[in-house]
Amino acid sequence: MNIVKVAACLFVIFSTAAIRADDKARFDLAGPTIDIRVTRGTSTLPIAQVPNLQPGDRIWIKADLPSSQSNHLMLIVAFLRGTTNEPPDSWFTEIDTWNKKTAEGTTVTVPNEAEEALLFVAPETGGDFRTLRSAVKGKPGLFIRADADLNEASFEQQRIERYLSAMKTLSQDDQKAIEEHSAKLAATLALKPNADCFKQPVDQQVICLTQSSAPVLLDDGHGQSIAEAISTGPSSDFINAASYTQPVGAGLYSAYVGAVVDLVHLVGMLRTAQYQYIPGLTFPQGSALSLRLNAPPSFHKPESVIVIGLPAIQKAKLPPLHPHDPNQVACLLQPKMTIPLEGAPLVFSSSFAHGLVLHLNRTGAPTDLPLAPDAFEGGLVITKEEKSDPLHDANLGGDKALSTKPDTKIGEATDLTITGTIRGYWGFDSFEGPTITIQQTKGKDWKIVDNAQLLAGQDNHLTIKADGSACVEHIALASDKGKDVEVSFKPSAGKDAKDTLALEVSLKTVQPGGYSLAIQQYGDSDRDTVPLTAYTAGIHLNTLQVHSGDKTAVLTGDGLKDVVSVEIDKQVFTPGGEGNDDNTMHLQADAGVSPGDGSDAKAKLKDGRTMSVKISTAAARPELKLLSFKAASAPKDGTLPIIFGSKDDILLEGTLTFVVQTNSTFPRTQTIEVATVDGSVHTTLSLATNNLMLQDDHTAIATLEPLKAFGQSAFGKLQMRPVAQDGTPGNWTPLGVLVRVPHITAIHCTTDAPTCTVDGSNLFLVQSFDATKDFAKPTDVPTGFAESNLAVPTPADGATLYLKLRDDPNPVANVTLPTPVQKPTSSITSPSQAAVPASEAPAAQDEATRPSSEPAPAPKPNPSRTPEPTTGPPQDHN
């Protein structure tokens, strides 16, 4: 079978296994530890600080095996020089770990032209060294690819484990810390955590991020370039096949797939060997190179050979560090100043970068501050580490070696900001990183720069500005009434980062009122304060409707109960009228206004704010002037007339006539609406219904029979207004008070007792009767009274009985007895008696002087006549 097809098939198989976290790809078995140090020139570094080798480097190797080690293990160091150029025998070194001569370590020198270095750990067997050397020389490209894949897999596993170990140190109930540090670790290590974990309950998020899921490895070209140094010579079939095994950065185990597939090829191509080959991932710490295996070693045939990738032999690939935000400013006053950097995950997951300093570009003050990579904090952190011996860089010369002496006297300069440059070593090579802006004195002149208004009861966004904002340690919303409310903040995006902060202010538990932002800066015991107001939330103004020339307006929106007034064309409109609620407010002013449609009005709120609202201006309302009105009524047969106590009273059972006038021509389509103030009853008058008639082009006479229009239960203040054809109403004009009266048919009084009896119907329409106009001793009509007679006081003057109507109880009405009360005899008055002519007075006298022993003849009833209500005289209101 073509080897390319085999490789492709194996890649699919092992990719699937890797994605499913199959044990074949899970490197979770501890292997042996090997001590390695590298010397270049006069400088020696532990293997953890060596990202690359160069010809002439001296590698000191020693197996760190327990004293009880019973199986003899052999170390083989192999150097390679290209996929089609087999290495010479002298490039292979055998180290017998059980031999006393090599127990203290063996030094191997990197030969010229070498490009890759491999380390094998194999059991002692006959011909083992020659067999393995032959296998490597026969297929050098296979081992080159295995070396690169092992190195890259080791780098990526170190990134993942750095993330996992850091996240496990967090409290599992601190939502903010989990999200914040996960974001910092992801940025520095080029990872993408599982976003679904943050949707789980907070106490399960760390478990999800570290156990039940794994972060996705993002592409890291720097790590890949350090891992690989493949010859540019002709490629073999295997190298073409290996191109199928490059899913770098695709997932947790994707980096291992290439190594696993290549080593499976290695096993398949060395069928005559007595070994099984196990890849070993490296985890260097200092000079100790710890191994992680994915299969347990075997000391029975086929015996195991552990394959270890050593750093590639190539020029240094310096870390491409760059700021997380090019506009961000670091604070030199911060005790643990962090410089957020990214672009080179190996700086934070390995020890390749060392001797790092921040060189301050200033004079007359200390210049170098030691730095340490801290993925947990998301960048390089100023440390107080002890002085370390500088390396003598061949490129700079011994006289220009970098100093890592700590220098923490950082408060001597007075300039607000300076610049600082990252410097350090990458293995044996010095490098210079990015230059950043640093604030070295505290900020001042704080102020709120946007128009955002804080609303109580909800989350708010705010931007504040100062002359230097990078040194803020803590911000709180403070007041004299309660505890401080913590405010989260971060530098604003863009070029304003050095001066402005974006704030998230939660006011869900805060009441409206006056507050201040309390700003605490590093190194300052005092707090700067910025006053602000928390306003009432939920207020929204939709529109303000007004008719041209009107003194009234209607405001719509939400939370209108907090509106104090609205200013339109320099006129102040205040809430008034009826029908106001939280969504609609009727406003009134002393003078009319005619604002432009779409113009703005200013609403003043109770909390002191002003808000703009758009004006919707409609055409002028129709207007009518009331010239006169007359309420007429005709006496009803059989009833006594009641005289009203107010000229504004309008009898329900009468006829109302009023005259109105317009400034312009009276529109024939215009109507007049007549209604009570409470809106309980209303009717419409128009030319079409013949209850409205034009006198001329400007004047109209309206006629209304209230009882017919409103029914017998109508009463109260009556008003009228014009209504245009499109339904636009004009202003209301008062007409009077619509009242109902009882039908009093007779009043019987006696001299024996100071009382009279009123006969009739609808007596409940009277509130009270009295003998005098001052109502000193009234007789109230009980609520719910429905009888046809009622005992009332005897009129003081013997002729006039006073009453107050229930529909308009303030004015005093009266009814006149047709015949005054006479003494000492009893008197019975009736409408028929009142109509007796003077010529019949003797008969009346005889009746009055009839002996008391003789009963008076009873009046004869007239069944053909039913008493009718009595109305008052016509009322003319001009």
Query: Could you count the other beta carbons within 10 Å of the beta carbon of residue 763?
Result: 21
My answer on whether 588 and 664 are in the same domain is no
For residue 92, the surrounding DSSP H or E stretch is strand 92-96
Q: How confident is the model at residue 70 (pLDDT cuts 50, 70, 90)?
A: low
- How far is it, in rounded angstroms, from Cα 263 to Cα 172? 40
Task: Indicate whether 592 and 691 sit together in one domain.
Answer: no
Q: Are residues 239 and 283 in the same domain?
A: yes
Model confidence at 410: pLDDT above 60: no
Peptide bond into 302 cis (omega under 30): yes
496 closest CA partner among 329, 324, 378, 334: 329
77-81, 380-384, 426-430: the lowest-pLDDT one: 380-384
Q: Which residue bears the tokens 């150097």?
A: 79
pLDDT of residue 132: 82
pLDDT digits (tens, 9 = 90+) for 585-625: 999 999 999 999 999 999 998 888 888 999 999 888 898 99
Residue 298 maps to a domain: yes
Between 229-243, 555-569, 665-679, the lowest mean confidence (pLDDT) is in 229-243
- Using the 3D structure, point to which of 717, 739, 761 is the last residue of a domain: 739
Q: Could you tell me whether strands 454-455 and 527-535 are parallel, antiparallel, or unpaired per DSSP bridges?
A: parallel
Q: Same domain for 377 and 409?
A: yes
**Which stretch of 135-144, 218-227, 766-775, 786-795 has the lowest confidence by average pLDDT?**
218-227
Q: What is the mean pLDDT of residues 542-549?
A: 91
The per-residue pLDDT for 326 is 84
Cut 0.85: pTM above it: no
Least confident of 68-77, 307-316, 649-658, 775-784: 68-77
Domain's final residue, options 246, 281, 309: 309
> 17 CB contacts (<8 Å, ≥6 apart)?
24, 25
Provide the domain limits for residue 668.
625-631+646-739
Specify the pLDDT at position 214: 61
pLDDT at 91 over 70: yes
Which pLDDT band, with edges at 50, 70 and 90, does 389 fall under?
low
Write out pLDDT tens, residues 105-120.
Answer: 899 999 999 999 999 8
More confident residue, 545 or 513: 545
Out of 75-84, 272-281, 444-453, 750-759, the most confident range is 75-84
Distances (CA, A) of 65 to 28, 384, 839: 20, 35, 155
The Cα–Cα gap between 749 and 834 comes to: 14
Confidence of residue 402 (pLDDT cuts 50, 70, 90): very low
Is residue 791 one of the residues assigned to a domain?
A: no
Q: Is residue 805 part of a domain?
A: no
- Whether 769 is covered by a domain: the verdict is no
Q: What is the pLDDT of residue 571?
A: 93
Q: Rounded to whole angstroms, how far apart are CA atoms 430 and 356?
A: 10
Tally of structural domains, the chain: 5
Q: Are 344 and 320 in contact (CB under 8 A)?
A: yes
| DSSP 8-state code for residue 678 | T
Residue 589, domain member (yes or no) = yes
Tell me the C-alpha distance between 114 and 558, whole Å: 79
Instruction: Check if the beta carbon of residue 38 is closer than 8 Å to that of residue 59.
Output: yes
- Whether residue 849 lies inside any domain: the answer is no
| DSSP-derived 3-state class of residue 669 | coil
Mean pLDDT of 51-77: 86
Q: Poorest-confidence range of 26-30, 88-92, 507-511, 523-527?
A: 26-30
Is the domain of 372 the same as that of 280? no
pLDDT at 769: 94
pLDDT at 602: 94
Note whether 554 and 604 are same-domain residues: yes
Q: What is the mean pLDDT of residues 748-769?
A: 88
Q: Find the mean pLDDT for residues 171-197.
A: 82
4 Cβ partners below 8 Å, 6+ apart? 237, 240, 241, 244
Average pLDDT, integer, range 849-857: 38
Mean pLDDT of 159-180: 83
Asked whether residue 9 carries a pLDDT value surpassing 50, the answer given is no
The whole-angstrom separation of Cα 124 and Cα 94 is 11
Tell me 218's DSSP state: P
| C-alpha separations of 273 from 102, 132, 222, 267, 800 in Å | 27, 8, 36, 9, 141
Q: How far apart are the C-alpha atoms of 544 and 554, rounded to whole Å?
A: 6
Q: Is 166 inside a domain boundary?
A: no
Could you tell me the CA-to-CA distances from 400 to 169, 319, 360, 395, 403 in Å, in that order?
41, 21, 17, 9, 9
Answer yes or no: do 150 and 236 share one domain: yes
Name the burial class of residue 579, with classes exposed (0-12), middle (13-18) and buried (19+) by CB atoms within 10 angstroms of its CB.
exposed
pLDDT at 207 exceeding the cut of 80: no
Q: What CATH number should be reported for the domain holding residue 676?
A: 2.60.40.10
More confident residue, 134 or 707: 707
What's the average model confidence in pLDDT over 491-516? 82
**Of residues 155, 279, 145, the one with CA closest to residue 219:** 155
Q: What is the reported pLDDT for 92? A: 93
Average pLDDT for residues 682-703, to the nearest whole number?
93
Task: Tell me the residue type at 617.
Answer: T
Six-digit token string for 107: 């030094």
Asked if 751 and 824 count as a contact pair (C-beta separation under 8 A), the reply is yes
Q: Provide mean pLDDT across the span 850-860.
A: 39
Phi-psi label, residue 468: left if phi above 0, alpha if psi -120 to 50, beta otherwise: left
Position with higher pLDDT, 24 vs 376: 376
Q: Is the peptide bond before 46 cis (omega within 30 degrees of 0)?
A: no
Better pLDDT: 543 or 132: 543
Query: Could you tell me which residues come within 8 angstroms of residue 825 by beta carbon, excluding any fewer than 6 positions away?
Result: 751, 848, 849
Q: Is the pLDDT of residue 864 over 70?
A: no
Q: Average pLDDT in the 291-302 region?
A: 77
**702 pLDDT above the threshold of 80:** yes
* Gap between the Cα atoms of 391 and 232, Å rounded: 33
**Residue entry with tokens 């300069």:** 413
Q: For residue 385, what pLDDT is reported?
A: 63
| Mean predicted lDDT score pLDDT of the chain | 79
Confidence tier at 136 by pLDDT (50, 70, 90) = confident
Asked if residue 556 and residue 513 are part of one domain, the reply reads no
Same domain for 513 and 549, yes or no, is no
Same domain, 281 and 388: no
pLDDT at 829: 39
Range picked from 334-338, 710-714, 832-836, 857-861 for highest mean pLDDT: 710-714
| pLDDT band of 37, cuts 50, 70, 90 | very high
Would you state the pLDDT for residue 397? 34
Per-residue CA distances from 754 to 52, 750, 815, 824 (Å): 130, 7, 18, 12
Which is more confident, 153 or 734?
Answer: 734
Residue 704 pLDDT more than 90? yes
Confidence band (pLDDT; 50, 70, 90) for 103? Answer: confident
For residue 91, tell me if it sits in a domain.
Answer: yes
Last residue of a domain, which of 739, 767, 792?
Answer: 739
Domain identity same for 66 and 151: yes
Percent of the chain whose predicted confidence (pLDDT) is above 90:
36
| pLDDT of res. 229 | 55
612 and 597 fall within a common domain: yes
